[in-house]
Chain A
Amino acid sequence: MHDNEHTEHHHEESFISKYIFSLDHKTIGKQFLIYGLIMFFVGGGLALLFRWQLAYPDQPLPIIGASQQYIDDGEVVTGADRMWERIYDSDKEEWLEVNMPSGVITPEFYNMLFTMHATIMVFFVVVPILVGAFGNFLIPLMIGTRDMAFPILNMLSFWLAVLAAIVMVLGFFVPGGHASAGWTGYAPLSADPQWTGVEWGLNLWAISLLLQGFSSLVGSINYITTIINMRAPGMTFFRMPLVIWSLFIVAILLLLAFPVLSSALALLIFDRLAGTTFFSATAEGGGDPLLWQHLFWFFGHPEVYILILPGMGIASELIAVFSRKPIFGYRSMVYAMIAIAFLGWIVWGHHMFQSGMRPGLGSIFMTTTMLIAVPSAIKTFNWMGTMFRGSIRFTTPMLHGIAFVSMFVIGGLSGIYMANTPVDIFIHDTYYIVAHIHYVVFGGSLFAIFGGIIFWFPKMYGRYMNDVLAKIHFWLTFIAFNCTFFPMHILGVGGHMRRISNPQQYEFLQGFEGMNIFITMSAFTLGFAQLILVFNFFWSMYKGKVAEQNPWQVNTLEWEAPTPVPHGNFGQIPTVHRGPYEYSVPGEESDWIPQAQPEHAPATSGD
């Protein structure tokens, strides 16, 4: 036994300090993961509701909607009819009655649905899982330290995020409904309640995002300090695994980008509650609606890279490990990520080509945007170079890694296409944009998240996830995802606007009815496929096959720690002797050499 103050101290922890107000980075990481998965279902459920409306406009929802007889002549036929009868009979204005009378989604509710779908997915699912869950769980383990630099701030970060989620969900139930100005909250739509009729919904939206901003701020201070100051002996910056590099860069982006959104949100709240006119161009006040767009996208575009960079990091780990080869061009991978992060700051105008911005400025933003294709292509070719002639193991995490790369290529290519101002003017605000963002954030980030969950599950819970279920989940998700989002490119080029509740109102969109129904069917399949993942996740936590300490033969330090990882992580802090990707080194017996293994020592020694 190594004597170690950390492992000795915390043996008699109560349930509350161990699982709820925990200071341990691993528990906080798992908390963020569960939090993200719960919000994933909230956000996904909202998407299914509005997908129904797009395929079958103004028809009652299945199961909870009233029957046609009931709507036509008030005759109670089904159980749902009885429920609606009761709702209409009550004197109170029931929530369902306001938002979906008889199960038909109102246009106002539709606006709320797509606004909250995006808000929740971006701020409460992808960032909490990628940065909150993987960041917390992996950073101390992979750089070889016992915990984060500021454990109390770490706990604060999680509970602020919980508070933000509660405030955000509360918004659905205030009079006037939730924010419905889109996740981008464009002014003056968002700045003055008279345009949307939304009063406290949008205020709560802004307050919730401010809280989430504090949570990210605290988290990123922690990540940056931990990575700079607390690496294990021998763990130089260029021996860090790429996922840690990506989280480091993302922490810096979050740190610098979120305060800009916070300043914009504060001004917005002043506009709504204190009578200022920052974002309303009234004759008296002299505000500027475009200012909101500039501030929002100055935050918003780095945010896009916050959503994808950790996915790139995770995919790099998966692809190197399961190709049994060193990552191709490790340093160029790092520099490419830095380049992407830097360029991310000077491209925000490409969201605003249609805003009436000066056209000359548009071509500058077009050029900087297209420059991002260079580091992105470096990364893509490096992933392919890593797989090239590798002994690829097609495990489920690897499938997700490959899916990440291929979907990212589609999303990235459509990104270059619409970075062109003339093209963007045509497809602006159409489903083409929706297709692009989902190929990058679902096809990219979420596949990386799924792969990462399955890959690190044995270290998190000491068991494997069930592989049959995981494979079924992967293939269903992969196929349904493409069926859902690929046709949206075609809709977009066909001129199908986003954010309209009833496409059938437009003659030129009526021909797309079949495609919209197909997309909705695929979206429901996609949604229900995720239930398999969640079932697998919780089932495997207790019933999964017990995993050994390093089930995938990985070099990085987290696998040096015993499973389940004790408080304080390592018996003795490991010393790092080499880079993270020394797989299939010529002349070596084993095809992997852990980072902590000294030079010229046998690959598998007793201790």
Chain B
Amino acid sequence: MMAENNVEMRESDRPPLSNARLGILVLLGAETMLFSGLIGTFLVFRVGNVTWPPPSHIGIELPRAVTGINTVLLLLSGYTMFQARRAIQKDNLKQLRNWLLLTGGLGLLFLGVQGSEWVQLIRNGLTLQSGVYGGIFYVLIGCHAVHVLSAVIWLFIVLGMAMAGRFSAARYTGVDTCTIYWIFVVALWPILYILVYLS
């Protein structure tokens, strides 16, 4: 019963979540608060104005339908990302690559549709300087877009690592952390869609 003879990390002492997974979850706490600040700002303006959009922007219509379809695309990418994780858990590297590729493609497609919508909106006269309506629209939706972009970049790094055969059913922390982040970015979008486009 000599406790001194302990090996450093016995199997039973190992924490339920590895450092990397826990670290990502903690990061998401901060991300949530960042978006809370921006969503709070949006709500202050939304609730504080009797008409929304404010009278000066009455002619401007946000592309609800296209964005609705885009929302479905992004949600679908959440599903494919989940499948990628399932694939590596079954040690199926080929499927992992395919699912990751599909997820990244959907992410890029989402960004592409968003980008073309923005070009259209700016042509119609809704810019960053269009009062708080335009301002918070571009900042909030743009902040999410930046997150999607960073998630896509991250995903392609993971894909590169998968191509190099760096993952297996026993070692897939890289896929796991990227999945957690991806799911967060995907799950956030419907909230923004409902608030900004539909409310």
Q: Interface on A for B, CB 8 Å cutoff?
A: 149-150, 217, 220-222, 224-225, 228-230, 233-234, 252, 255-264, 266-267, 270, 274-278, 284-288, 291, 294-295, 298, 572-573, 575, 577, 598
Contact = CB atoms under 8 A, between A and B. Distances in A.
B44 A263 contact: no
A359 B21 CA distance: 45
B11 interface: no
Interface string B44-66: 11001100001010000000000
Contacts of B115: none
B30 A255 contact: yes
B49 A286 contact: yes
Given A150-B23, A217-B30, A285-B132, A291 B4 contact: no
B15 A575 contact: no
B37 A260 contact: yes
B8 A573 contact: yes
B135 A277 contact: yes
Interface centre among A257, A260, A286 (most CB of B within 10 A): A286
A84 to B, nearest CB: 46
Contacts of B120: none
B19 A150 contact: yes
Main secondary structure of the interface of B (DSSP, over half): helix
B36 interface: yes
B191 interface: no
Given A150-B23, A221-B27, A263 B129 contact: no
14 contacts: A149-B22, A221-B23, A225-B19, A234-B3, A258-B30, A259-B30, A259-B33, A262-B37, A263-B37, A267-B139, A286-B54, A288-B48, A294-B40, A294-B44
Contacts of B143: 266
B15 A278 contact: no
Nearest to B8: A573
A443 to B, nearest CB: 30
Contacts of B41: 263, 267, 278, 291, 295
B56 A229 contact: no
A284 B131 contact: yes
A260 B31 CA distance: 9
A533 to B, nearest CB: 35
Contacts of B139: 266-267, 270, 276
Contacts of A278: 41, 132, 135-136
Contacts of A258: 30
A288 B45 contact: yes
Nearest to B136: A278
Contacts of B199: none
A225 B37 contact: no
B185 to A, nearest CB: 15
Given A228-B15, A267-B139, A276-B128, A260 B34 contact: yes
A221 B45 CA distance: 32
B29 interface: yes
A196 B53 CA distance: 32
Given A229-B22, A270-B139, A278-B136, A286 B45 contact: yes
A295 B40 contact: yes
A483 to B, nearest CB: 41
B3 A233 contact: yes
B3 A256 contact: no
A149 B23 contact: yes
Contacts of B48: 288
Nearest to B56: A284
Q: Which 3 A-B pairs have the closest CB atoms?
A: A263-B37, A259-B34, A276-B135
Contacts of B22: 149, 224-225, 228-229
Nearest to A258: B30
A270 B128 contact: yes
A131 to B, nearest CB: 15
B6 interface: yes
Nearest to B131: A285
Nearest to A264: B37
Contacts of B44: 288, 291, 294
Contacts of B198: none
Contacts of A256: 29-30, 33
A233 B38 contact: no
Contact of B34 (A263, A276, A287): A263
A598 B45 CA distance: 61
B164 interface: no
A375 to B, nearest CB: 23
Nearest to B44: A291
Contacts of B132: 276-278, 285-288
A229 B45 contact: no
B26 A575 contact: no
A225 B129 CA distance: 41
Contacts of B38: 263, 267
